[in-house]
Amino acid sequence: MKMWSGRFTKETDELVEDFHSSISFDSRLYKQDIRGSIAHARMLGEQGIISKEESRLIIEGLREIEREIEEGKTEFSVDAEDIHMNIEKILTEKIGEVGKKLHTARSRNDQVALDMRMYLKEEIKVIMGLLADLQQAIVDKAEKHLDVIMPGYTHLQKAQPVLFSHHLLAYFEMFQRDFERLLDCRKRTDVMPLGSGALAGTTFPIDRERVKEELGFRVISRNSMDAVSDRDFVLEFLFCASMIMMHLSRFCEEIILWSTNEFGFVEVDDAYGTGSSIMPQKKNPDVAELVRGKTGRVYGSLMALLTVMKSLPLAYNKDMQEDKENLFDALDTVKGCLQVFIPMLDTLKIFPEKMHREAQRGFANATDVADYLAEKGIPFREAHEITGRLVLYCIERGITLGDLSLEEFKKFSGAFEEDIHQRLSIESCVMRRDVPGATGPRQVSRALTESKEIIRLNRQHLV
Ligand code: ARG
């Protein structure tokens, strides 16, 4: 018999039963559901809404149910619909009629909002921890290869030489913003909705602050109708997750590109690559490709839930049950991707000579020639023009700027002197970019030190 069968004269259609049941996926909320129910039952007892003895029996029953679920003894039933009613049903089977008092002054609408917030709060912390681990892996790699020079690109064309460590630390910044976004998202998730009832609150003299304290929330929700129909916190998280995936996908794309025979900058460790069933020479960067590909699923979850929530009238609507699979899938995907990406990065082999050689090609030092002329007093636009002509001259002869004699340089501008050759080395190009945030070794060393401190502060949010 259904818990809400009183008003009905007919059984639910069998197809509908399966259709609206969420137990197959929301059973993963059992821990939060039980913890929330224990806090609720304790408060009901303290407030004299149920007796102390009833409260004690309910709490004991709930604890036992938790143990049994953990031991894998529990079989949930589809006709009890969702995790909330399944647990209540088991409770009543276990402790009898008194179990039916648990739902006093509560609705599944505020209950599910509570469970989702508790669950997401914990998961956000796990992901923040993974982000901090990833940042550590980035810092370790950057530190190990601090002075390696590689070509920096714009439009995927060689632009200027940069330190490989500087390139890596660019990703550190992206993941730092992701970390801060999650911190902010956690703040808005950390709101206790229980006591909102179905939508209008409750007639019972409950103590919401007491429940908030026991469950470790920051504040209680301020409007019961909003509290039961708000899924902004899930959407916000899905956006944060999408952003993390977008950043990971860019990193993966570079690893894939750098692993090609054409680039040859890096090699993915055997443990993170796979072979081909036909081409014996192949080692494919599958892990990086799959992370790149899984980005689409997470974007999909965000778009799906945004669309579910669009135009929904207040307050709770069953549409909102669709929040769960989207959230759970995105959580599993982001965690899974971070967990495999971190060791892949850790074990990634770097080929500094190849990076260095490529940085010397493609006129990556041309800006430095223009800067040199500008330092000598030639207006930058003109210096740019002169250097452009020099580059063309070299391209026509199949040589580099470094191959030109001082006499040849002088044909383009009288401002060139002996020191031009030393300015053409890629070491000089990197070294001279010494403003805050630039690729110069002094700046990158400083950035590394700061990054380590940032990780330390990030970890403080995880205790
Ligand atoms: N399983 C439901 C959900 O996930 C719980 C809330 C149901 N409330 C209701 N009035 N049908 O949204």
Which of 300, 330, 357 lies at the terminal end of a domain, its last residue? Answer: 357
For ligand 1, whether the C-beta of 320 sits within 6 Å is yes
CATH of the domain at 255: 1.20.200.10
Residues 136-165: what's their mean pLDDT? 98
**Any domain includes 157:** no
**Any domain includes 156:** no
C-beta of residue 373 within 8 angstroms of C-beta of residue 387: yes
Burial label for 214, CB within 10 Å (0-12, 13-18, 19+), is middle
CATH of the domain at 86: 1.10.275.10
Per-residue pLDDT, 12 = 84
Residue 1 confidence (pLDDT) above 80: no
Whose CA is closest to atom 11 on ligand 1? 318
For ligand 1, whether the C-beta of 22 sits within 6 Å is yes
Closest ligand 1 atom to residue 81 Cα is 1
For ligand 1, whether the C-beta of 139 sits within 6 Å is no
Q: Which residues contact 38 (CB under 8 A, 6 or more apart)?
A: 59, 62, 63
- The crossing angle, in degrees rounded to 10, of helices 380-397 and 366-375 is 140
Per-residue pLDDT, 236 = 98
Which residue in 27, 96, 87, 29 sits closest to 63, CA to CA? Answer: 87
Residue 315 confidence (pLDDT) above 80: yes
Per-residue pLDDT, 291 = 98
C-beta of residue 97 within 8 angstroms of C-beta of residue 305: no
The domain of 166 spans 109-149+162-202+216-357
Closest ligand 1 atom to residue 198 Cα is 10
C-beta of residue 204 within 8 angstroms of C-beta of residue 49: yes
**Any domain includes 419:** yes
Which residue in 462, 444, 455 sits closest to 170, CA to CA? Answer: 444
Q: Are residues 346 and 404 in the same domain?
A: no
- How many residues make up the chain in this entry? 463
**Any domain includes 387:** yes
Q: What is the pLDDT of residues 362-418, one digit of tens each?
A: 999 999 999 999 999 999 999 999 999 999 999 999 999 999 999 999 999 999 999
Phi/psi region, residue 194 (left: phi>0; alpha: psi -120 to 50; beta: rest), is: beta
Per-residue pLDDT, 283 = 83
Residue 424 confidence (pLDDT) above 80: yes
Per-residue pLDDT, 174 = 98
Which of 297, 326, 357 lies at the terminal end of a domain, its last residue? Answer: 357
Q: Which residues are marked as active site?
A: 155, 276
> Separation of 295 CA from ligand 1 center, angstroms?
29
Ligand 1: residue of 21, 26, 76, 318 to mutate (most ligand atoms within 8 A of CB) is: 318
> Measured between alpha carbons, how far is 16 from 27 in angstroms, rounded to an integer?
19
For ligand 1, whether the C-beta of 165 sits within 6 Å is no
Residue 17 confidence (pLDDT) above 80: yes
Residue with tokens 């064309």: 157
**Any domain includes 1:** no
Q: Are residues 181 and 309 in the same domain?
A: yes
Per-residue pLDDT, 10 = 87
Q: Are residues 424 and 313 in the same domain?
A: no
Number of structural domains in the chain = 3
Q: Are residues 99 and 136 in the same domain?
A: no
User: Would you tell me how many other CB atoms lie within 10 Å of the CB of residue 48?
Assistant: 11
**Any domain includes 6:** no
Q: Are residues 266 and 379 in the same domain?
A: no
Least confident of 3-12, 112-121, 152-161: 3-12
Write down the mean pLDDT value for the chain: 97
Q: Are residues 261 and 335 in the same domain?
A: yes
The fraction of the chain above a pLDDT of 70, given in percent, is: 100
Q: Are residues 93 and 170 in the same domain?
A: no
> Separation of 108 CA from ligand 1 center, angstroms?
6
Per-residue pLDDT, 4 = 85
| pLDDT tier for residue 428 given thresholds of 50, 70 and 90 | very high
Ligand 1: residue of 30, 83, 88, 321 to mutate (most ligand atoms within 8 A of CB) is: 321
Whose CA is closest to atom 2 on ligand 1? 321
Per-residue pLDDT, 311 = 98
Residues 227-251: what's their mean pLDDT? 98
> Separation of 216 CA from ligand 1 center, angstroms?
24
Per-residue pLDDT, 6 = 86
